[in-house]
Amino acid sequence: MIQVLSQLLSAALGSVGFGLIFNLNRRYLPAAAVGGFLAWLAYLLADHALSSVFLANLLAGFCAALYAEILARCCNAPSTPFFITSAIPLIPGSTLHYCMNAVVSSDLRAAEHFGEQTFLAALGMLGVFCAGLNVPITTCMMAIDLFHGTAAGFFVIVAFISYLVGGHRGVYPAQRIISPKRRSLIVDEGGTVADAIERHNDLIE
């Protein structure tokens, strides 16, 4: 229990730290702390329930995106800073560190274990960023630059599936929809993400 609380507190403080680095308005720093706390809590719960690093990162990332969108509407501010600071704890830094430490120590079994966890976490984060930003090619290039091109096929598959499943939603409301993702969404062509969300909400109501 103490270990879980320390992890959640560290996630909150880490989000605040990156909020300071990104020059986030100081009045939003408590919101950044809550975002990091909730994102890591979602990760721990999903990892415990599903026993999958990939799905845990994916679900936690979507929780961070949802939190950022809600906060942006409440504060009348862009959602991007809230999303980035909330997603910071999900970056697989610890497993990457343990993997490199195992490589240096010539412990290949541990290196393989932590390397697999790092890769799956990276795929989960890739899916979240692609669905939230609607930029599959840019996301794939970033992943290839960070994790080498040998896994490019996996990056492309995850990026484009999340891009298509995400629909016309994202963290950039002013983003213009040049080409609809599916034929059923052709009515959104030429408008913005904000227009598409409003139109779809009206249909639901």
Model confidence pLDDT, tens digit, residues 25-37: 888 888 889 999 9
Residues 6+ apart with CB under 8 A from 172: 80, 133, 134, 193
Confidence of residue 203 (pLDDT cuts 50, 70, 90): low
Is residue 130 within 8 A of residue 159, CB to CB? The reply is: yes
Q: What is the mean pLDDT of the chain?
A: 81
Is residue 143 within 8 A of residue 155, CB to CB? The reply is: yes
Can you name the residues that pair with 176 across neighbouring β-strands? Answer: 192
Can you name the residues that pair with 192 across neighbouring β-strands? Answer: 176
Q: Shortest CA distance to 139 belongs to which of 87, 110, 152?
A: 152
Global model pTM greater than 0.75: no
SS3 146: helix
Q: Shortest CA distance to 77 belongs to which of 177, 173, 178?
A: 173
Could you report the per-residue pLDDT of 59-110, keeping only the tens digit for each? 888 888 888 878 877 877 777 788 888 888 887 777 777 888 888 888 888 8
- Stretch (H or E) spanning 148: none
Task: Over range 156-170, report the average pLDDT.
Answer: 79
Could you report the per-residue pLDDT of 117-147, keeping only the tens digit for each? 888 888 877 887 787 778 888 888 888 877 7
Is residue 21 within 8 A of residue 95, CB to CB? The reply is: no
Return d(Cα 99, Cα 106) in angstroms, integer: 10
Percentage of the chain modeled with pLDDT above 70 = 93
Count of helix runs (H) and strand runs (E) in the chain: 9, 0
